[in-house]
Amino acid sequence: MTMDSTVLSAGYTQPDTRYPLDPLTGPEIEAAAAVITASDYATPTLKFVMISLAEPAKTPQLTFQGLPAVPRQAFVTMYDAAAKMIYEAVVDIEARVIDSWTAVPGRFPSYLVEHMTGVEEAVRKDPRWQEALRKRGVTDFGLAMIDPWPAGYYGAQDHYDNSPLICRPLTFMRAAPNENGYARPVEGLIVTFDLDTMTVLDVEDHGVVALPAKGGNYAPEFMFSPDNRPAFDGFRDGVKEIAITQPDGPSFTVDGWNVTWQKWSLRVGFNPREGLVLHELTYTDRGTVRPIMYRAALSEMVVPYGDSSPTHWNKNVFDMGEVGMGFSANPLTLGCDCLGEIFYFDGTVNDSDGNAVTIPNAICMHEEDYGISWKHTDFRTGAVEVRRSRRLVISMICTVGNYEYGFFWYLYNDASIEMEVKLTGVLTTGAVAEGEIPRWGKMVAPGMYGPNHQHFFNFRMDMSIDGPGNSVYEVDSIPEPDAALNPHHNAWITRDTLVASEAEGARDWEYATGRYWKVVNPSKLNEFGSPVGYKLMPKDIVPVMVQEGSVIYDRARFVQHNLWVTRFDPRELYAAGNYMYQSADAQGLPEYIADDAPLEDTDVVLWYTVGAHHVVCPEDWPVMPCHYTGFKLKPVGFFDGNPALDLPPSPPKACHSH
């Protein structure tokens, strides 16, 4: 942490004029809720799940700049526990009218805000749960941490027609207030909880396993205790301050939610479900504004566990669709989460009564030096030309129970785009008897293991490469197929395969051919007669361990392919569907491609899945070092040459030596 970091948004206020893609303000959220509460649709048991911007229809220009004003509308999802029904509404905020009202039978909503704290309080009072803890020698119930895990899907008994909205809380014990309770999991104790009535339905106890004896703390007040694991005798020496300063200020400018940086322009968005959203990404090339992506956001994520034991086998959390990334966003801390000349955007969400809740500093934006962009030394003359790379970082960090997920969008000054996911936080843990070796996980501390699990993140990217008419090609590198042209057995070519329709839209990466995908605009040709484009570059591909026949297989079908390509449909936003909670259906992408829409020279959407394969180790305990995964988009034939060639040389004063 350094005191040289600067908050650039201090005292910043949003302009009075709202751009059609700007997130709802607090007053707009509350106005939408008030319209519904005052309507004939309202009931005493109706609760607000999510209130977000109803984004206006895409224009042919791919922007609303200079176009007539668009009405501000809110998209509202609600849940009535008494009627056991989800409702969706579109509210015209300025006119104070409900434009549409739709019942959604047969589905369950994501968590309401009060579920996250109310579950713990109710479970702690249950006598069956208390008796299970007494069997384990626990009498101070106030030290229990009770995580309200989403229910997953066990089978027909969890389906909408015969089940309440449920979760299955798991219990962990702190040894002292504020200590890391995940160090002492209560193995084999599973609660089934009715979120409609906020009552305990059932308590399963699969047998007593002793609580692990050692603490696993990372906070300084506990970390250096002799009872902690791992053991340290103090903070390390020699860590000297790194100060990041920009004496002339940052290179970006902010106008409301619009950001311009060097040749980039984009609009930042935020909502309760997706959290951070990017809109209208364009790059100015010799005075011409060239669109690249219309909209980009996380569309869903899932964390399937590979452990058959009673406490863990049903853990298959859709952290976005079942909880909400916007709700989970951290208020970021200057100099710790973000370093340098920082601009913060606040995030505004709703509570279940329709009140606005502000998450200060939910989105962080700053610039980073990123090493060498390009360099060459003429060894004959000794002349050297080198340019520094720089990137604009737009990020949020979300806490969902024990885990932290950081989502970092990077824009580079060579016109590349990157998404990086950073995974950290605390493992969800299990206890084992002394001398027992876990079959489906690895030991991280005495008496405790971390189950095998994976994380999959799907990102939806509404592409607009130089305009709306795009095509997608799969590109493979293969040995020269004509033996007569390959006498030395060294030649190879690239083979482009058009993804012609949605029936062909589910694609898999291939190591042997160095496969990547490119999105091109067939109507815009470069000087070599090839369509301009961007390529999607995979990295860190992991095997999918979700098996057909498992309860998660159909619910998380999007993980079965690395890339899905669909034709744009404004109703298709989420890779696993709108409401996957307690559902066994193959919603989302399998449905979206069922109509086999043509994909050539049209408005295409990329859905790319990245994964993290987590076989845990002691070094992941008690808090996990960041694990990184992601992907990159890079121009391919989009420019006439290196787009970073015009970067100015760095001034000598920017470099120091001792």
**Phi and psi dihedrals of 352, rounded to 5?**
-75, -10
Give the residues across from 451 on adjacent strands: 441
The position carrying tokens 């989009």 is 638
Is residue 319 among the annotated active site residues? Answer: yes
The sign of the dihedral angle between the CA atoms of 350, 356, 359, 362 is: positive
Is residue 403 among the annotated active site residues? Answer: yes
Peptide bond into 538 cis (omega under 30): no
Peptide bond into 250 cis (omega under 30): no
DSSP per residue, 264-325: EEEEEEEETTTEEEEEEEEEEETTEEEEEEEEEEEEEEEEEB---STTTTT-EE-IIIII-T
Task: Give the closest residue to 429 by CA, choosing from 228, 225, 150, 216.
Answer: 216
Give the residues across from 632 on adjacent strands: 418, 537
Task: Give the closest residue to 384 by CA, choosing from 376, 372, 393, 392.
Answer: 376
Q: What are the residues whose beta carbons fall under 8 Å from the beta carbon of 186, sequence distance 6 or more?
A: 132, 133, 136, 138, 144, 170, 171, 172, 173, 211, 431
Give the residues across from 167 on adjacent strands: 150, 193
From 319, 466, 554, 585, the catalytic residue: 319
The position carrying tokens 């008994």 is 157
Distance CA 561, CA 563 (A): 6
The count of other CB atoms within 10 Å of the CB of residue 435 is 6
Coil, helix or strand at residue 30: helix
Task: Give the closest residue to 225 by CA, choosing from 186, 185, 180, 173.
Answer: 180
The sign of the dihedral angle between the CA atoms of 235, 237, 238, 243 is: positive
Contact 120, 90 (CB under 8 A): no
Where residue 322 falls (left for φ over 0; alpha for ψ -120 to 50; beta otherwise) is: alpha
DSSP label at 71?
Answer: -
Q: What are the residues whose beta carbons fall under 8 Å from the beta carbon of 324, sequence distance 6 or more?
A: 50, 110, 111, 272, 273, 275, 349
The position carrying tokens 């067939």 is 522
Task: Give the closest residue to 279 by CA, choosing from 293, 261, 300.
Answer: 293
From 79, 111, 294, 403, the catalytic residue: 403
Q: What are the residues whose beta carbons fall under 8 Å from the beta carbon of 325, sequence distance 6 or more?
A: 273, 274, 275, 276, 298, 319, 396, 398, 405, 407
Could you tell me the CA-to-CA distances from 406 to 166, 268, 348, 457 in Å, in that order? 28, 17, 19, 12
The position carrying tokens 């969008």 is 409
Where residue 127 falls (left for φ over 0; alpha for ψ -120 to 50; beta otherwise) is: alpha
Calculate Rg over the CA atoms of the chain. 26
The residues annotated as belonging to the active site are: 319, 403
